[in-house]
Amino acid sequence: MNTLLEKISTINDMILQGNALDAFEEYYHEDVVMQENDNPAIIGKNANRKREEEFFASITEFRSAQPLKVTIGEDTTMVEWHLDYTHKDWGIKNYTQVAVQEWKDGKIINEKFYYGS
């Protein structure tokens, strides 16, 4: 069985290769809950898949994504990312965020993103 470090590293590599939605399909639990800062949580894989698809469809220019730090704990991973892109509604976005993932049954069951507004 792959360790959490191997799994999160694979997810990060898939994101960098433009395969974020494939990583979502493979590594996210059917009951996943995702939340950005203190916004309402999105519950379930189908609802989060739709949110992810809408997000990526709204990127008009992608300049870079870079994982800066990865931390592993008990059933928890954290990745600090630097992101730089243009979104059709939000304009130019160039920022750092931390994604915290909780794992269950070898998949991400809960993910929360922290970033400045």
Instruction: At 7, list the tokens.
Output: 């799994």
Which residue do the tokens 């994101």 mark?
Answer: 15
Measured CA to CA, the distance from residue 39 to residue 106 in angstroms comes to: 26
CA distances from 3 to 8, 9, 41 (A): 9, 10, 27
Q: What is the pLDDT of residue 2?
A: 78
Q: 98 has which bridge partners?
A: 80, 114
* 50 half-sphere exposure, CB direction, 13 A CA radius: 5
Domains of the chain: 4-115 (3.10.450.50)
Residues of the chain with pLDDT below 50 are none
